[in-house]
Amino acid sequence: MASVLAYVDGFNLYHGLHEKFGRRYHWLDLEELVRRLRPQDTIVGIKYFTAMIRNDPAGEARQSIYLDALAAHTAAPLEIVLGHYLERPMRCTRCGATWMSYEEKETDVNIASAVVCDAAMGASEMTLLISADSDLCPAIRTARAVAAQDSRKLGVVVAFPPRRRSFTLAGVASTCLVSQHHLRLAQLPAVVHNPTTGQKYRRPPKWS
Protein backbone atom coordinates (compact mmCIF):
# COMPACT_ATOMS: atom_id res chain seq x y z
CA MET A 1 0.00 0.00 0.00
CA ALA A 2 1.30 3.46 -0.90
CA SER A 3 0.12 7.05 -1.05
CA VAL A 4 -0.75 7.96 -4.65
CA LEU A 5 -1.06 11.35 -6.33
CA ALA A 6 -2.83 11.26 -9.70
CA TYR A 7 -2.23 13.57 -12.64
CA VAL A 8 -4.93 13.47 -15.31
CA ASP A 9 -4.20 14.78 -18.80
CA GLY A 10 -7.74 15.91 -19.59
CA PHE A 11 -7.14 16.58 -23.29
CA ASN A 12 -5.50 13.19 -23.88
CA LEU A 13 -8.15 11.35 -21.88
CA TYR A 14 -11.11 13.17 -23.43
CA HIS A 15 -10.08 12.46 -27.01
CA GLY A 16 -9.26 8.84 -26.24
CA LEU A 17 -12.72 8.38 -24.71
CA HIS A 18 -14.42 10.17 -27.57
CA GLU A 19 -12.65 8.21 -30.30
CA LYS A 20 -13.39 4.84 -28.68
CA PHE A 21 -16.79 5.31 -27.04
CA GLY A 22 -18.27 8.58 -28.26
CA ARG A 23 -19.73 10.63 -25.38
CA ARG A 24 -20.82 7.66 -23.27
CA TYR A 25 -18.18 7.99 -20.55
CA HIS A 26 -17.55 11.74 -20.40
CA TRP A 27 -19.37 12.05 -17.03
CA LEU A 28 -16.31 10.51 -15.43
CA ASP A 29 -15.65 10.26 -11.69
CA LEU A 30 -11.89 10.74 -11.61
CA GLU A 31 -11.55 9.76 -7.96
CA GLU A 32 -13.32 6.46 -8.56
CA LEU A 33 -11.24 5.87 -11.68
CA VAL A 34 -8.02 6.34 -9.71
CA ARG A 35 -9.37 4.02 -7.00
CA ARG A 36 -10.12 1.36 -9.62
CA LEU A 37 -6.66 1.71 -11.15
CA ARG A 38 -4.85 1.65 -7.77
CA PRO A 39 -7.19 -0.26 -5.41
CA GLN A 40 -4.51 -0.95 -2.78
CA ASP A 41 -3.24 2.63 -2.52
CA THR A 42 -4.40 5.70 -0.59
CA ILE A 43 -5.35 8.67 -2.77
CA VAL A 44 -3.75 11.85 -1.43
CA GLY A 45 -4.72 14.09 -4.32
CA ILE A 46 -5.91 14.40 -7.91
CA LYS A 47 -4.74 17.06 -10.34
CA TYR A 48 -6.84 17.49 -13.48
CA PHE A 49 -5.25 19.40 -16.34
CA THR A 50 -7.51 20.85 -19.01
CA ALA A 51 -8.39 24.03 -20.91
CA MET A 52 -11.74 25.76 -21.24
CA ILE A 53 -13.52 25.26 -24.56
CA ARG A 54 -13.85 28.36 -26.74
CA ASN A 55 -16.46 29.53 -29.25
CA ASP A 56 -18.83 26.64 -28.55
CA PRO A 57 -21.46 27.80 -26.02
CA ALA A 58 -23.08 24.38 -25.65
CA GLY A 59 -19.72 22.68 -25.20
CA GLU A 60 -18.60 25.36 -22.75
CA ALA A 61 -21.76 24.80 -20.68
CA ARG A 62 -21.26 21.02 -20.56
CA GLN A 63 -17.63 21.42 -19.55
CA SER A 64 -18.48 23.90 -16.80
CA ILE A 65 -21.18 21.63 -15.42
CA TYR A 66 -18.77 18.71 -15.41
CA LEU A 67 -16.00 20.60 -13.62
CA ASP A 68 -18.43 21.87 -10.99
CA ALA A 69 -19.88 18.38 -10.49
CA LEU A 70 -16.39 16.91 -10.21
CA ALA A 71 -15.39 19.46 -7.57
CA ALA A 72 -18.60 18.88 -5.59
CA HIS A 73 -18.36 15.08 -5.67
CA THR A 74 -14.64 14.44 -5.15
CA ALA A 75 -13.67 13.74 -1.54
CA ALA A 76 -9.91 13.65 -2.09
CA PRO A 77 -8.08 16.95 -2.60
CA LEU A 78 -8.79 18.00 -6.20
CA GLU A 79 -6.95 20.67 -8.17
CA ILE A 80 -8.13 21.74 -11.62
CA VAL A 81 -5.23 23.26 -13.54
CA LEU A 82 -6.18 25.27 -16.61
CA GLY A 83 -4.15 25.81 -19.74
CA HIS A 84 -5.61 27.62 -22.73
CA TYR A 85 -6.45 27.26 -26.40
CA LEU A 86 -4.48 29.18 -29.02
CA GLU A 87 -6.39 30.34 -32.10
CA ARG A 88 -4.77 29.45 -35.40
CA PRO A 89 -6.31 30.71 -38.65
CA MET A 90 -6.29 27.96 -41.28
CA ARG A 91 -6.73 28.14 -45.06
CA CYS A 92 -7.25 25.42 -47.63
CA THR A 93 -4.66 25.83 -50.38
CA ARG A 94 -6.95 24.12 -52.90
CA CYS A 95 -10.30 25.85 -52.43
CA GLY A 96 -9.35 28.93 -50.42
CA ALA A 97 -11.77 28.15 -47.57
CA THR A 98 -10.72 29.56 -44.19
CA TRP A 99 -11.51 28.50 -40.64
CA MET A 100 -10.22 28.85 -37.12
CA SER A 101 -8.39 25.95 -35.48
CA TYR A 102 -7.70 25.70 -31.74
CA GLU A 103 -4.53 24.22 -30.27
CA GLU A 104 -4.33 23.42 -26.57
CA LYS A 105 -1.31 24.98 -24.92
CA GLU A 106 0.51 24.60 -21.60
CA THR A 107 -1.08 21.32 -20.44
CA ASP A 108 2.01 19.15 -20.87
CA VAL A 109 4.20 21.84 -19.28
CA ASN A 110 1.77 22.20 -16.37
CA ILE A 111 1.73 18.43 -15.79
CA ALA A 112 5.52 18.15 -15.99
CA SER A 113 6.01 21.03 -13.56
CA ALA A 114 3.53 19.55 -11.07
CA VAL A 115 5.06 16.07 -11.21
CA VAL A 116 8.59 17.37 -10.55
CA CYS A 117 7.50 19.88 -7.90
CA ASP A 118 5.47 17.29 -5.99
CA ALA A 119 8.36 14.83 -6.15
CA ALA A 120 10.65 17.45 -4.65
CA MET A 121 8.19 18.01 -1.79
CA GLY A 122 7.68 14.28 -1.18
CA ALA A 123 3.93 14.68 -1.74
CA SER A 124 3.37 10.97 -2.36
CA GLU A 125 5.08 7.61 -2.69
CA MET A 126 3.43 6.84 -6.02
CA THR A 127 2.71 8.94 -9.10
CA LEU A 128 -0.19 7.87 -11.33
CA LEU A 129 -0.16 9.61 -14.69
CA ILE A 130 -3.25 9.20 -16.89
CA SER A 131 -1.92 10.15 -20.29
CA ALA A 132 -0.05 8.82 -23.30
CA ASP A 133 1.91 12.00 -24.04
CA SER A 134 5.53 10.97 -24.52
CA ASP A 135 6.64 14.57 -23.90
CA LEU A 136 6.19 13.77 -20.19
CA CYS A 137 9.08 11.27 -20.14
CA PRO A 138 11.68 13.86 -19.03
CA ALA A 139 9.43 14.90 -16.14
CA ILE A 140 9.20 11.30 -14.94
CA ARG A 141 12.97 10.86 -15.06
CA THR A 142 13.52 14.16 -13.27
CA ALA A 143 10.93 13.41 -10.59
CA ARG A 144 12.59 10.09 -9.80
CA ALA A 145 16.03 11.71 -9.66
CA VAL A 146 14.78 14.47 -7.35
CA ALA A 147 13.20 11.92 -5.01
CA ALA A 148 16.38 9.82 -5.03
CA GLN A 149 18.40 12.82 -3.83
CA ASP A 150 16.42 12.58 -0.59
CA SER A 151 16.88 8.79 -0.46
CA ARG A 152 13.27 8.28 -1.51
CA LYS A 153 11.99 5.93 -4.20
CA LEU A 154 9.13 7.34 -6.27
CA GLY A 155 6.95 4.76 -7.98
CA VAL A 156 5.47 5.84 -11.31
CA VAL A 157 2.58 4.19 -13.16
CA VAL A 158 1.23 5.47 -16.47
CA ALA A 159 -2.37 4.60 -17.34
CA PHE A 160 -3.05 4.86 -21.05
CA PRO A 161 -6.48 6.21 -22.06
CA PRO A 162 -8.48 4.30 -24.70
CA ARG A 163 -6.91 4.45 -28.17
CA ARG A 164 -3.75 5.95 -26.69
CA ARG A 165 -0.34 4.27 -26.30
CA SER A 166 3.29 5.35 -25.99
CA PHE A 167 6.21 2.96 -26.25
CA THR A 168 8.44 5.78 -25.01
CA LEU A 169 6.45 6.16 -21.78
CA ALA A 170 6.38 2.39 -21.38
CA GLY A 171 10.18 2.53 -21.39
CA VAL A 172 10.37 4.78 -18.33
CA ALA A 173 7.43 3.65 -16.17
CA SER A 174 5.11 0.78 -15.38
CA THR A 175 1.96 0.97 -17.49
CA CYS A 176 -1.65 -0.15 -17.47
CA LEU A 177 -4.75 0.54 -19.54
CA VAL A 178 -7.88 2.51 -18.72
CA SER A 179 -10.40 -0.14 -19.75
CA GLN A 180 -14.09 0.07 -20.51
CA HIS A 181 -14.70 -1.84 -17.29
CA HIS A 182 -12.92 0.90 -15.32
CA LEU A 183 -14.90 3.61 -17.10
CA ARG A 184 -18.28 1.93 -16.67
CA LEU A 185 -17.76 1.62 -12.92
CA ALA A 186 -16.36 5.14 -12.52
CA GLN A 187 -19.25 7.36 -13.58
CA LEU A 188 -20.59 10.23 -11.50
CA PRO A 189 -24.19 9.99 -10.27
CA ALA A 190 -26.68 11.27 -12.84
CA VAL A 191 -27.33 14.18 -10.48
CA VAL A 192 -24.48 15.47 -8.31
CA HIS A 193 -25.48 17.47 -5.26
CA ASN A 194 -23.20 20.04 -3.66
CA PRO A 195 -23.91 19.75 0.08
CA THR A 196 -22.40 23.17 0.79
CA THR A 197 -24.30 25.29 -1.74
CA GLY A 198 -27.28 23.05 -2.45
CA GLN A 199 -26.53 23.30 -6.17
CA LYS A 200 -27.37 20.29 -8.35
CA TYR A 201 -25.44 19.31 -11.45
CA ARG A 202 -27.10 17.00 -13.95
CA ARG A 203 -25.37 14.82 -16.49
CA PRO A 204 -25.78 16.54 -19.90
CA PRO A 205 -28.30 14.65 -22.07
CA LYS A 206 -25.76 14.63 -24.91
CA TRP A 207 -23.48 12.49 -22.73
CA SER A 208 -26.09 9.79 -22.11
Domains in the chain with CATH codes: 3-207 (3.40.50.1010)
What pLDDT is recorded for position 97? 67
What pLDDT is recorded for position 55? 81
What pLDDT is recorded for position 104? 57
| Pairwise CA distance, residues 137 & 155, whole Å | 14
Exposure class string for 103-119: b at 16+ Cβ within 10 A, else e: ebebbbebbbebbbebb
Task: Report CA-CA distances (Å) from 9 to 71, 72, 173.
Answer: 17, 20, 16
Q: Write the burial class of residue 58 (CB in 10 Å: 0-12 exposed, 13-18 middle, 19+ buried).
A: exposed
Q: Which residues of the chain have pLDDT under 50?
A: 84, 99-100, 102
What pLDDT is recorded for position 83? 81
What pLDDT is recorded for position 88? 56
Model pLDDT for residues 7-62, shown as the tens digit of each residue: 999 999 999 999 999 999 999 999 999 999 999 999 999 999 999 887 889 999 99
What pLDDT is recorded for position 208? 84
Torsion of Cα atoms, 186 then 161 then 128 then 39, to 10°: 40
What pLDDT is recorded for position 102? 46
Closest CA to 37 of 143, 163, 186: 186
